[in-house]
Structure 1
Amino acid sequence: MASATDPEERTNRFPKAVYERELFRLQAELVKVQEWVRTEGKRLVVIFEGRDAAGKGSTIKRVTEYLNPRVARIIALPAPSDRERTQWYFQRYITQLPAAGEIVLLDRSWYNRAGVEKVMGFCTPDEYHRFLHQCPIFERMLVEDGILLRKYWFSVSDAEQEARFRSRLADPMRQWKLSTMDLDSISRWEDYSRAKDQMLVHTDIPEAPWWVVESDNKRRSRLDMIHHLVASLPYQDVARVPIELPDRPPPTGYIRPPRDTQRYVPDFASTLLTES
């Protein structure tokens, strides 16, 4: 039984039936958005940033659940290589930007420099201040070129973040989500808060504003974020050409080879039925 501090227990306070019904409706709208992007040659970039354990990854899963991976791509870049560290900071992100008819979802983005790199000392003060100066210019260039840019910051309270960390520690299926960097976010909570505040001051611009998602309740935050994204886009329902299955042609004498001439995966599923 879930404890009172279990994040999933708190999430359940938002009615599951209401959540699933509205999520499915919004996901259907996202499919319409995808078809509009594809047929109209639009380029959409959605940035997901926020605290560790704030629910970015689970929201991205819900956004892409019914989308075509050839149209909607999730980008989660690893730490830069030695070569990439010598490039212009934005250079490796530029190669990930969408072409016509594509959607790119950035699971963390160039804003790493304003957050973890600043707090953990992975960049110099000059590099940090240069980023704050260049980022609005860079994003204005993207928007001016026609890219639809949406930026979401997932906010979570310190108590909720710690509860989610503890839940992951006790769950062998999710322990991989925890790293020493994540745990540092507890002791450096105020440092990250100050860095986030500075980031918003410098990069919340009219052309590409930040939208904060309150995510202590994951179900609410997913619905809020997806609804906002869909409502912010001037998409239209694209009429699809009707598809009909052709009639199967008459047989021409093909005979399937005997089963013992090929290797088949063992019928493991049947053993589960016999055991029960």
Structure 2
Amino acid sequence: MPKELYEAELERLQIELVSMQQWIIATGARVVVIFEGRDAAGKGGVIKRIVQYLNPRSARVVALPVPNEREKGQWYFQRYIERLPTAGEIVLMDRSWYNRAGVEHVLGYCTDEQYQRFLDQAPVVERMLVDDGIILVKYWFSVSDDVQQARFRSRLLDPMRRWKLSETDLLSILKWEDYSRAKDAMFEVTDTPEAPWWTIESDDKRAARLNTIRHLLSQVPYERLEPEDVTIPDRPKANDYERPPREKFRYVPDHAKDIVAG
């Protein structure tokens, strides 16, 4: 995807996302978007572009850590249910309850009984969400093994992204086929008419971002709302205020000026 074309279309789609959010707020709609898929498939990059210009008061990203001891004693879905949107909100889940069908199952972090119970309950839970009026969209990001390997190597050499290379990521290389089988089994049960899976081919990150955002916009029945007329008033003249001397305040050192000066 050529950069110039990508940036122009991304800007257009992000403007539409703002319109979509205004409709969500105005109508009290509730939207949940689930992002799942292979490690290094580009989920985080898409989420970043979606929320970039949205109002953070009504758009949340949920990326939960490993459950603590208290959460381990809860019903499995409980800590996710607590983070569902209220009226006028959109929630983007960077991984979700499907951890149980993927990494937990493949790496043995849950029992076979817990895994099977999840597969039995997930379609029921999602049907309840949809029946209650929540707009639920589920994306699976697919990446080829060669591209995944290349992205892992780039993370290893990038000090700003080195933290994204975890032990679990490395195990995903060794257990590629196990994850494939787990994904197939998960789709077989949870790809339902009420909450279908949508697959994103993500070897081309730019194309994947545009395709995802465009599709998300098509899944929310929003209408463009005309903004209220706003008049910016002229600033009144200061009659009885005099700013204190600059010497009284502490200013951050002008690092930028030092760089320009060389």
TM range (shorter): over 0.9
Q: Distance in 2 between matches of 1:76 and 1:85?
A: 17
Aligned to 1:170: 157
Q: What is the Cα deviation at residue 15 of structure 1? A: 1.0
The code of the aligned residue for 2:242 comes to: I
Q: What is the Cα deviation at residue 41 of structure 1? A: 0.3
Aligned to 1:261: 248
SS at 2:92 equivalent: strand
Q: Distance in 2 between matches of 1:226 and 1:274?
A: 42
Aligned to 2:223: 236
Aligned to 2:119: 132
2:39 to 11, 36, 52: 52
Post-superposition CA distance 1:126-166 (Å, at most 9, x none): 00000000000000000000000000000001111011101
Aligned to 1:191: 178
Aligned to 1:249: 236
1:209 aligns with 2:196: yes
Cα root mean square deviation, aligned: 0.7
SS at 2:86 equivalent: coil
Please identify, of 236-245 and 183-192, the stretch whose mean Cα deviation from structure 2 is larger: 236-245
Aligned to 1:24: 11
Aligned to 2:97: 110
Residue identity (%):
63
SS at 1:48 equivalent: strand
SS at 2:91 equivalent: strand
Q: Distance in 2 between matches of 1:78 and 1:225?
A: 25
Post-superposition CA distance 1:36-67 (Å, at most 9, x none): 00000000000000000000000000111110
Q: Which runs of 5+ in 2 are unaligned?
A: none
Please identify, of 89-98 and 166-175, the stretch whose mean Cα deviation from structure 2 is larger: 166-175
Q: Distance in 2 between matches of 1:253 and 1:187?
A: 72
Q: Distance in 2 between matches of 1:188 and 1:161?
A: 13
Q: Which segments of structure 1 move beyond 3 Å, counting only runs of 4 or more?
A: none
Aligned to 1:71: 58
- State how 1:86-97 maps to structure 2 within 5 Å: 86-97=73-84
2:205 to 209, 218, 238: 218
Aligned to 1:157: 144
Q: Distance in 2 between matches of 1:253 and 1:223?
A: 54
The code of the aligned residue for 2:57 comes to: R
Please identify, of 86-95 and 164-173, the stretch whose mean Cα deviation from structure 2 is larger: 164-173
SS at 2:20 equivalent: helix
Q: Distance in 2 between matches of 1:150 and 1:224?
A: 14
Q: What is the Cα deviation at residue 261 of structure 1? A: 1.2
Q: Distance in 1 between matches of 2:15 and 2:53?
A: 8
1:83 aligns with 2:70: yes
SS at 2:147 equivalent: helix
Q: What is the Cα deviation at residue 240 of structure 1? A: 1.4
Aligned to 1:39: 26
Q: What is the Cα deviation at residue 174 of structure 1? A: 1.1
Aligned to 1:11: none
Q: What is the Cα deviation at residue 255 of structure 1? A: 0.7
Aligned to 1:145: 132
SS at 2:6 equivalent: helix
TM-score (norm. length: structure 1): 0.94
Q: Distance in 2 between matches of 1:123 and 1:243?
A: 55
Please identify, of 241-250 and 100-109, the stretch whose mean Cα deviation from structure 2 is larger: 241-250
SS at 2:240 equivalent: coil
The code of the aligned residue for 1:216 comes to: D
